[in-house]
Each structure stands twice: as structure tokens, then as C-alpha cells.
Amino acid sequence: MPLSLHDTYAREKREFTPRDPSRVTLYVCGPTVYNYAHIGNARPVVVFDVLFRLLRRRYGDEAVVYARNITDVDDKINAKAIEQGVPIGEITDKFAAIYEADMGALGALTPTLQPRATGHIDEMLDQIGRLVNAGSAYAAEGHVLFDTTSFPDYGKLSNRSLDDMIAGARVEVAPYKQNPADFVLWKPSKPGEPEWPSPWGPGRPGWHIECSAMIEAVLGLPIDIHGGGHDLTFPHHENEIAQGRCATHGGEYARYWMHNGFLTMDAEKMSKSLGNVLLVHDLVERWPGEVVRWALLSGHYRAPLNWTDALLEQAKTSLDRLYRVLSDLKRFLSGSAGLPVVDFANVEKLHEAAGTLSRLEDDLNTPAAMGGLFALADGIRAQLLLNSKADRQVLADHLGALQEAAGLMGFLAADPDAWFQGSADTGLKDKVEALIAARATARASKDWPEADRIRGELTALNVEVLDGPGGTATWRIKE
């Protein structure tokens, strides 16, 4: 089954073939680290994490190089550093660490490379120098600007003409520009802002050059896949292409372009100015990371996703259903010799039959792929219902296939008991543990009325006690 991906540049789904299957390159524009990431910012992280997992399965873990940059010099970072009277590094280190932890809580694998803009200023200056030499950029009043008229393909990614771009108010008008659509590669810093020396005067890089220079430096051009939110198509990615191609005399830049749709709340874009921002940091306090991840992947990545509490509730219900099967299976096994060795060929067959992989390979159709997880869980459930007649090999193989399919999307990584205990607060957990211990003591001294009384108390707390072999017991919050 080929992997097909929707390519923004081609405006259609295309079969993915890497330039070199032993080194598949993926780059996704990462965060500007000056505050907490909102749930919209997490959408590209989780979507491209699924792609990363899929590519690793296809080409091998070592063959896929995934870079996600960290923008650690920017107007907003500078403003915050000046406001707090600290160096920018203090702000950016703090929020880069928070970002990594929050995205980790959503089950996102750490990218292979996380280049920081300030670590690649020399490469940016080198790329700017080549653009100036090639006649694609010019210096003016301490700035260096890209001359958009020098690149005939400018606008091809976002499907806009130069006139459209100028009409759209997104281009900044400035006296030193030769053409209104020209954009900044280098600019002087304001007093108090960080600056680096350059042949055009001291200053700092523009945002777009960061990505094209880091891509060239850490991945090499051309790369296979470039991703980001669809708002980045213009001007950011359009400008990256112009820079990357002109600096390499027309060479290829990225072979496939992928863009995720926007996450909205009540049909409005999530943004700080609208005041409808939900932070990942807060959401993962209230919900298991996998629930938030499930909600993010419950719609196709290219479509807009409307974020509601109901979406999270549904995600929780879906994951509970899968974890309950795992929890029941674990209990079924606890009194016996465990499962037989999995038959890998059969696991692959079941995995394929469930359709998870083929749906993911069809332009990351995660909502359809989720259906495959339920099919596999139903296979386990059907065996468990047979009790002592359950076919242990069927259970082992279905479990293997379910774990593999879920792993591709980053689900079912938790212990099933911990999953159901997770919704209990620490006070309740302590109370339940104490009651279970007291019940064990009562049972050991054959005080059955007391043991029953305690079980009743646990039931009243909505806790189900699951007795295991040798007097051990575990528990979970009831459905």
C-alpha cells in the first residue's frame, strides 16, 4: 500500500516517495518560545508526530530525520525580555522546556533535531550573502530585503499573484522596499534588543530566513516533507521557498508541503487577541494527555476542528472503552500463566485487516483509523466473554495488533489500572488504598462481615475492587 499525502503545492494527494529511503527528511515549523502553547499550537505537533511514527514504521527508526525548530529571537520575545529586564535566553530557555514537557504530555515523540535560531545565525548570514550575490536580495538602510520580482515562482505555493499579495494587507509598507511584497532577511535591532554583527550592519535575522537556513544547515536541501499550520502557507512558507531556491540557484526546496487546518472555538480562530485561548499546560492538568491527543486527532488534519468540552468527553469515552478491554484482559491473565508468544505473521495480518495502517497511509486519515482500534478491541472482548474457553493465542495476537495499531497513533501507552485510577484525586486514591488494605486484613482474619462492609464502602465511592490471585487486589473507578 503506497503512502499518499496531500501536497499543498500540487493541490492534490500524491504518492510519497522519499528522495533517499535511507534518509527521509521532515521539517515542521516550531514554536516561538515566549509563552505557553495553546491547544491550536499543539495540532501540528500531534499531526506531524503521527506522520513521524508512520514514516519510521515504513523506512525504519534510524532512517527518518525529523527537525522542528525553536524560534528563540523575535519581536515578542525581545519585548518580554525588556519588560522583565532579563536576557532573552532566560525567557526562551524557560518556555522551550515547558513546550517540550507539554508536547511530551500529549505523547509527541521528541523530534530528531530541534535547532534554535540563535544557534544558526552564521548559516543565516551565509544564505543571505548568497541571495545578495545572486541578485535576489538587496541592502537598504541597514536592512537586507528579498526582491520578490527576482523569483518568477513567487506565489505558487499559496496560489496568489503578486497583485493579490499586495492587495492583502499582510505586506508591510516601508520606504526602503523596492517592491511592496519584498520581505526582510536582516534588520537592525532596536536599542536594548540582541544583535549580531553582519556585513550589512549589526542586527538580527527576519523570521523566514531562520527556517530556510536551518533546514539547509541541519537537514540539507532539498528536504522531503515540510509541514506546518495552514496560516503559514503565506507569507512564511512562500518566502522560505523563494529564499531556499534562489540561494541554491533554482534548486528544489521541499518535495511535499503539508498543512494542518485550524483549531477553532465556537467557529472562531483561537487567538490571544480574541481571548479564547486554552493552554495545553492547563488541559493536561485536567485530562490525561491521551484524551487531549485523541480529541486533536478525531478530525481529519486538513479540516478545521472545533474544540469543545464535548469533544474531550467523547475522546475520554472512546479511550475508556479501549482501556477497559485491556484492563479486563490483564485481570483475566493475572491468575494464569500469561499469554502465549505472539505469532508475528498473524499480528501483521490482524493489524492490516483492522485497516488502521491503510487509513493512516491515506493522507493520515486518523478518524477512520480509530475505528480499526475498536475492531481489534472487539476481537479481544469476544474472546474474554468465552471465559475459560477463550483462545489464548487469539487474545495474544489481537493484543499485539491492537498495541501496534494504537502505537502508530500514540495511544494506549498507559497501564490500564493506572488509567482508571487516574481520574481519582490523591485524597480518594489514599482512601481507597487504605480501605483495600483494611479489607485484606479482615479477610486474612476471616472477618467476613467486616470485609463485606468495607467492600460496600468502596462501592459507595464508585470503586470496583478486582481481586487477583493470592489475596492481591487492584481497583478502578467504575464505568
Residues that bind ligand AMP (CB under 6 A): 29, 31-32, 40-41, 43-44, 228-229, 231-232, 260, 262-263, 269-270
Query: CB-wise, 232 or 405, nearer to ligand AMP?
Result: 232
> CB under 5 to 8 A by kind: which of Zn ion, ligand AMP, none does 431 bind?
none
Q: Widest CA span of the chain, in angstroms?
A: 91
Distance of CA 413 to the CA centre of its chain: 16
Measured distance CA(435)–CA(49) in Å, rounded: 42
- Residue 232's Cβ-count burial label (10 Å; 0-12, 13-18, 19+) is buried
**Shortest distance (Å) from residue 37 CB to ligand AMP:** 7
Distance of CA 416 to the CA centre of its chain: 23
> CB under 5 to 8 A by kind: which of ligand AMP, Zn ion, none does 31 bind?
ligand AMP
**Shortest distance (Å) from residue 30 CB to Zn ion:** 8
CB 240 within 8 A of CB 211: yes
> CB under 5 to 8 A by kind: which of ligand AMP, Zn ion, none does 211 bind?
Zn ion
> CB under 5 to 8 A by kind: which of ligand AMP, Zn ion, none does 43 bind?
ligand AMP
**Shortest distance (Å) from residue 143 CB to ligand AMP:** 22
Residue of minimal CB distance from ligand AMP?
229
CB 373 within 8 A of CB 322: yes
Does 29 sit near Zn ion (CB under 5 A)?
yes
> CB under 5 to 8 A by kind: which of ligand AMP, Zn ion, none does 270 bind?
ligand AMP
Which distant-in-sequence residues (6+ apart) come within 8 Å of 157 by Cβ?
Answer: 8, 9, 233, 234, 237, 238, 241, 257
**CB-facing half-sphere around the CA of 66: CA atoms within 13 A:** 24
> CB under 5 to 8 A by kind: which of Zn ion, ligand AMP, none does 93 bind?
none
Give me the phi and psi of 255, to 5 degrees please: -85, -25
Query: CB-wise, 72 or 404, nearer to ligand AMP?
Result: 72
Measured distance CA(394)–CA(379) in Å, rounded: 8
Let me know the angle formed at the C-alpha of 219 by 203 and 101, rounded to the nearest 5 degrees. 80
Contact region with Zn ion (CB under 5 A), list: 27-35, 93-101, 339-347, 376-384: 27-35
**Shortest distance (Å) from residue 29 CB to ligand AMP:** 5
> CB under 5 to 8 A by kind: which of Zn ion, ligand AMP, none does 70 bind?
none
> CB under 5 to 8 A by kind: which of Zn ion, ligand AMP, none does 244 bind?
none
Entry field: residues in the chain: 479
Judged by DSSP in three states, 269 sits in strand
**Shortest distance (Å) from residue 115 CB to Zn ion:** 11
> CB under 5 to 8 A by kind: which of ligand AMP, Zn ion, none does 41 bind?
ligand AMP
Let me know the angle formed at the C-alpha of 290 by 284 and 305, rounded to the nearest 5 degrees. 85
Measured distance CA(157)–CA(257) in Å, rounded: 9
**Shortest distance (Å) from residue 274 CB to ligand AMP:** 10
CB 115 within 8 A of CB 217: yes
Query: CB-wise, 155 or 228, nearer to ligand AMP?
Result: 228
**Shortest distance (Å) from residue 4 CB to ligand AMP:** 22
Binding mask 196-235 for Zn ion (x = CB under 5 A): ---------------x------------------------
Query: CB-wise, 28 or 377, nearer to ligand AMP?
Result: 28
Q: In what order do the strands lie in the sheet with 263-265?
A: 268-269, 263-265, 305-306
**Shortest distance (Å) from residue 263 CB to ligand AMP:** 4
Is the C-alpha dihedral spanning 422, 425, 431, 434 positive or negative?
Answer: positive
Query: CB-wise, 74 or 363, nearer to ligand AMP?
Result: 74
Does 246 sit near Zn ion (CB under 5 A)?
no
Measured distance CA(463)–CA(450) in Å, rounded: 17
Query: CB-wise, 223 or 311, nearer to Zn ion?
Result: 223
Let me know the angle formed at the C-alpha of 296 by 94 and 424, rounded to the nearest 5 degrees. 75
> CB under 5 to 8 A by kind: which of ligand AMP, Zn ion, none does 125 bind?
none
Query: CB-wise, 40 or 205, nearer to ligand AMP?
Result: 40
Instruction: Please give the residue ranges that form the binding site for Zn ion (CB under 5 A).
Output: 29, 211
